[in-house]
Amino acid sequence: RKEVEQDPGPFNVPEGATVAFNCTYSNSASQSFFWYRQDCRKEPKLLMSVYSSGNEDGRFTAQLNRASQYISLLIRDSKLSDSATYLCVVTGPRSGSARQLTFGSGTQLTVLP
């Protein structure tokens, strides 16, 4: 079983739609959680961190459920420029591999005009 699992998609949605991505992780001792965005043939870039209380950044909302080991990302009013692969990322427990990022395989989103 992979440490971080995501639905690979692709998700094809019209402009203005709301889309949600989910992610599960296997290590209950994982310490920190993030969403990265990767455009085609480009490097990954941090989109936002994910906190248990939930956090929002403009049209993007991220949530973490530690009990279910589940992370989500909601994109509202999607734009053409949101088309990318969204990578769910966790870090290890504090006493272990806390500095390496463990990535999911990514969920591909295409926003259609």
Strands 11-14 vs 107-112: parallel, antiparallel or unpaired: parallel
Segment near another protein (CB under 8 A); pick from 13-21, 37-45, 52-60, 65-73: 37-45
**Is the CB of residue 72 less than 8 Å from the CB of residue 18?**
no
Distance, in Å, from the CA atom of 107 to the CA atom of 104, rounded to the nearest integer, reads 9
The minimum distance between CB 113 and another protein, in angstroms, equals 26
Q: Determine contact, residues 7/106, Cβ cutoff 8 Å.
A: no
- Residue 43 contacts another protein per CB under 8 A: yes
Binding-site member from 62, 73, 87, 109 for another protein (CB under 8 A): 87
Among 22, 49, 69, 72, the residue binding another protein under the rule CB under 8 A is 49
27 part of the interface to another protein, by CB under 8 A:
no
